Amino acid sequence: MRLTRHDLIAGEHALKDALQAFVSFKSYSLYFPPPDSSGEQFEAEYLRGEQKLLLPLTLDGEFLGMFMARGMKSIPKTSLALLTQAATLCLENLRLAKACRTDSVTGLLNRGCLMSAMEREIELVQACILPGSASCLDTPGEARGGFGLVLLDVDFFSWVNQNYGYLFGETLLKKLGELLARKAPEDALCARLDGDVFAALLPGASAARCQDLAESLRAAVAEEIFEYPVNGERIRLTVSAGFSLYPRDLHGGQLASPIGEAVRILVQKARKTLACAKDLGRDQVMSFSKLLREGGQVLESLPLGRLAVSLGKAVDAKEGQRFLVWSPRTGAAQPLGRAGERVSGRYPSMVKGEIILMETQEDVSFAEVLHLTDASWPIEPGDRLLLAQEPEDLFAAEADPAAPPQRDMVSGLLGHRDFIRHITQVREAQSVFTLALVRLPDSGKDRQSGSASPAEARVQEVAALCREVFGSQVQGGRFSTGSLILYVPGLDPLVLRERFAAFMEQAESRLDLRLAVGLAGYPFLNFGKADVLENCRKALDHSLLIASGPQLAVFDSISLTISADRLFTIGDVYGAVEDYKLALLADEHNLLARNSLGICLARLGRMAQAKAEFERVLSKEPRNIMALYNLGHACHRLGEEAQARKAFQRCLKLNPQDVYCLLRLGRMAEDTGKLTNARKYYEKAAALPSGKGLTMRHLARVELAQGHTDQGREYLHQALLHDPKDAFSLNLLARLYLDGGEDPAIAEALARQSAALRPDQKQFWRDLARALEKQGKVDEAQQAMGRG
């Protein structure tokens, strides 16, 4: 385990604390002198006139740099050798600390360090991933919008171990780790997860950036040639890659789970994606968002036109989703024969048929064949799935309307296709109707049954209860294996709510089944008849989020708000705006939707409109802390400083422990030159349980503005201990080194990190150019200045 310059820079604060146990000094810095061609070793030296101690940092005979301590009035010459040994002990401790977070084989970070880094990233993201949170309106420099986790697995690595030995296998893992660290961007955090699985954590990354990194790493490994030293045999390797994104790939209850649990959910999603990339042929990249869309396979053909497929709840598969089935053998180049000569050609892509998911379990689902393109060309194991586009009209008829309807043998209800065909025919005559989705609990969760087919038995019981409660007025069908769909003509869902609540109560008391029901009706707002089924699905999703009481939801303003929240979470701000507006059309008193609409408008730069929405919330609810904070931010962005300050102060009266209000007020005081007031706000924030890490950078700015360089440096180091990827703290530290006339090589390392983390900040590139210029790297400096 070797220490590098980056390790010294990152451990500078710890090094200072350790050395101060042996000798006192007022200020300090690192210095990396240019290599001496004569090979002369640096020695400890005290410069009496400058009151400065130069202490060489040497470990195992390797010179790493110099530690400069200033403000030392005197020091006995005989103590210099002892201080050199003390410095070596400090370096040993740094190396031990590095060993605790580093994988011993590859030199990358280990699993524990990766998981801790992901937890820290989630803490930084969580404040702004959901509408209405206290810091969601912070400027891009103040908050993180998400991150990506890329996993890479070496294909057929067990074959390498079996044929060349485990020691050579570890050598290959080390080389792959070095390749990953070399090819990954500056802001990436690279680790070995376990075995031959590597990981790269990308703060603030989009799906496109994760895809680009995974593809570049896959290509780099494929081009590399490894040599077996025993006989000189040359070996090529390939890797499969998969990635998931936070918070985009988590939703529902997953977003509300504890941070440690969310980390493991995200890792599991990335592992699922990686496994899919290997199943589909290896040496390729798959994203979690594509997994459901195009990563499924047929596992087994079952009787009665049923199939087992590789998509389950773990990849967000749901009953009622439709997939096209195609053979991987089509669309590929194949040799074709013709009268004694060989020709080659590519089979055209051909779809075998369409299926619909009827029952989803954790890792697999069971589907029903809707139709086949050619009855003589059956669906087989290994065939691939492609998520079908939802038709404009989900009730479009797919079969011959003259064909007799087929009823389910167990429940007596219409099958999925026949129910849709039936509704298509009868809905046009109705000016009012309701659809209901009734979801049964997963088999075995709420009731233990001794029946050989408990799921079918439960469907039969629920269908019988439907007929008993609703009579012939309600027409029903099988929506999936574990859910029914009901059509009620002539009645609005609000009228039916009490009847469905009674139906659910009887199911629980008589059948020991806790049902979930979503209701949607026509007419509602500007939705057409073709939209009712999708609205019904959203109502069912709404019902499943109800923690206590009956899980019954009518598609309404709250359902639309939940849908908009989901769009906001995955970054579709425009789509979220439309759904929040619809939610307000349905209920103008939905203050959560109005506040969230204001947040979306602010994200789009429409500050005046956002301010108006926040004021409407406060006119109804003057003590709404979220709206007050957001109003303050909008006013601040509009230049209305007095109104912004008033809003933040009202927030603090309602909640004196609001860290973000204290930071906002401190920043406003700092911007107007009132540094004493700014310090007071920041110190109050730092004293709060969640405020210390968030406040250090702000306190550092105040100290530096007042000329207190050493204290400012201390605060910056503490900020980086809280968040090692804090680009603004890294940049301030780089400028400290530049402005103080200290080693520009350290300034360059810090400036590079800050520019890589936040390439949109032009000042970071200009500071990097200054650091390069001071070292005589003119061409690189010009390139950096061009970016700035």
Residue 577 inside a domain? The answer is: no
- The CATH number given to whatever domain includes residue 371 is 2.40.10.410
**434 and 476 share a domain?**
yes
* Cα–Cα distance, 50 to 107 (Å, whole number): 40
Mean pLDDT score, 28-35: 78
Residue 133 is predicted with a pLDDT of 46
Residue 601 inside a domain? The answer is: no
Residue 411 is predicted with a pLDDT of 66
Alpha helices by DSSP H, listed for 11-100, are 12-19, 79-100
Residue 289 is predicted with a pLDDT of 86
- pTM of the predicted model as reported, rounded to 2 decimal places: 0.77
Residue 452 is predicted with a pLDDT of 37
Which secondary-structure segment (H or E) carries 615?
A: helix 607-620
Residue 447 is predicted with a pLDDT of 42
Tens digits of per-residue pLDDT, 452-471? 346 677 888 888 898 888 88
Tens digits of per-residue pLDDT, 582-594? 999 999 999 999 9
* Cα–Cα distance, 380 to 309 (Å, whole number): 11
* Cα–Cα distance, 637 to 628 (Å, whole number): 14
Question: How many other C-beta atoms are found inside a 10 Å radius of the C-beta of residue 281?
Answer: 10
Matching residue, tokens 């609990």: 441
Question: How many other C-beta atoms are found inside a 10 Å radius of the C-beta of residue 653?
Answer: 11
The Cα-based distances of 567 to 210, 540, 572, 580 in angstroms read 20, 17, 5, 10
Tens digits of per-residue pLDDT, 281-312? 899 999 998 888 888 999 999 988 899 999 99
Q: What is the CA radius of gyration of the chain?
A: 32
For residue 470, the enclosing domain spans 416-555
**741 and 777 share a domain?**
yes
Evaluate the CA torsion angle 620, 621, 625, 626 in order and state its sign.
negative
Question: What is the average pLDDT value for the chain, to the nearest integer?
Answer: 86
Matching residue, tokens 């009953």: 319
Tens digits of per-residue pLDDT, 312-324? 988 888 888 889 8
- The CATH number given to whatever domain includes residue 53 is 3.30.450.40
Q: How confident is the model at residue 432 (pLDDT cuts 50, 70, 90)?
A: very high
Mean pLDDT score, 511-525: 93
Residue 397 inside a domain? The answer is: no
699: closest CA among 713, 684, 715? 715
Residue 333 is predicted with a pLDDT of 47
Residue 455 is predicted with a pLDDT of 66
Calculate ∠ Cα 629-633-638, nearest 5°: 145
Residue 520 is predicted with a pLDDT of 96
Residue 74 is predicted with a pLDDT of 79
Q: How many residues does the chain have?
A: 788
Residue 721: DSSP 8-state: H
| Phi and psi, residue 285, nearest 5° | -115, 135
Least confident of 71-75, 482-486, 600-604: 71-75
620: closest CA among 652, 587, 648, 649? 587
Residue 138 is predicted with a pLDDT of 46
**326 and 355 share a domain?**
yes
**357 and 444 share a domain?**
no
Q: How confident is the model at residue 14 (pLDDT cuts 50, 70, 90)?
A: confident
Calculate ∠ Cα 43-45-51, nearest 5°: 160
**421 and 491 share a domain?**
yes
Which residues have CB under 8 Å from 168's CB, separation 6+?
160, 228, 229
Residue 573 inside a domain? The answer is: no
**Strand pairing partners for 343?**
336
User: Dihedral through CA 265, CA 271, CA 272, CA 277, nearest 10?
Assistant: 150
Residue 40 is predicted with a pLDDT of 59
Query: What per-residue string of b and e applies to 417-450 under the rule 16 or more CB within 10 Å gives b?
Result: bbbbbbbbeebeebeebbbbbbbbbebeeeeeee
**166 and 96 share a domain?**
no
Report whether 562 contacts 590 (CB < 8 A): no
User: What's the one-letter identity of residue 282?
Assistant: R
Residue 631 is predicted with a pLDDT of 93
Matching residue, tokens 């087919």: 453
Burial class (CB in 10 A: 0-12, 13-18, 19+), 372: middle
Give 519-582 as a DSSP string.
EEEESBTTB-GGGHHHHHHHHHHHHHT--SS-EEEESSHHHHHHHHHHHHHTT-HHHHHHHHHH
Residue 392 inside a domain? The answer is: no
Residue 408 is predicted with a pLDDT of 65
Tens digits of per-residue pLDDT, 150-159? 999 999 999 9
Residue 267 is predicted with a pLDDT of 95
Considering the chain, what percentage of its residues have pLDDT values greater than 90? 47
- The CATH number given to whatever domain includes residue 424 is 3.30.70.270
Residue 560 inside a domain? The answer is: no
Least confident of 12-16, 35-39, 361-365, 605-609: 35-39
- Looking at the predicted structure, is the pLDDT value of residue 764 above 60? yes
Of residues 682 and 447, the one with the higher pLDDT is: 682
Q: Which of 427-436, 610-619, 717-726 has the highest mean pLDDT?
A: 610-619
Calculate ∠ Cα 608-641-703, nearest 5°: 130
**68 and 41 share a domain?**
yes
**652 and 721 share a domain?**
yes
Residue 692 is predicted with a pLDDT of 83
Tens digits of per-residue pLDDT, 383-427? 999 888 655 444 444 445 555 666 766 567 777 777 877 787 788
- Looking at the predicted structure, is the pLDDT value of residue 236 above 80? yes
**710 and 734 share a domain?**
yes
Tens digits of per-residue pLDDT, 666-695? 999 999 999 999 999 999 999 998 788 889
- Looking at the predicted structure, is the pLDDT value of residue 478 above 70? yes
- Looking at the predicted structure, is the pLDDT value of residue 637 above 70? yes
Structural domain count, the chain: 5
726: closest CA among 702, 750, 710? 750
| Phi and psi, residue 42, nearest 5° | -75, 145
Which of 33, 65, 100 is the last residue before a domain boundary?
Answer: 100
**625 and 518 share a domain?**
no
Matching residue, tokens 């979503």: 518
Extract the tokens encoding 390: 């939802």
**660 and 544 share a domain?**
no
Matching residue, tokens 């690189």: 780
Tens digits of per-residue pLDDT, 640-676? 999 999 999 999 999 998 888 999 999 999 999 999 9
Tens digits of per-residue pLDDT, 688-712? 987 888 899 999 999 999 988 888 8
- Looking at the predicted structure, is the pLDDT value of residue 217 above 90? yes
Residue 244 inside a domain? The answer is: yes
Report whether 474 contacts 484 (CB < 8 A): no
Residue 140 is predicted with a pLDDT of 38
Which of 538, 555, 572 is the last residue before a domain boundary?
Answer: 555
Q: Cis peptide leading into 391, omega within 30 of 0?
A: no
Which of 42, 70, 100 is the last residue before a domain boundary?
Answer: 100
Residue 142 is predicted with a pLDDT of 47
**617 and 744 share a domain?**
yes
Residue 496 is predicted with a pLDDT of 93
Mean pLDDT score, 474-485: 84
- Looking at the predicted structure, is the pLDDT value of residue 244 above 90? yes
Which secondary-structure segment (H or E) carries 236?
A: none
Extract the tokens encoding 249: 């790939």
Residue 731 inside a domain? The answer is: yes
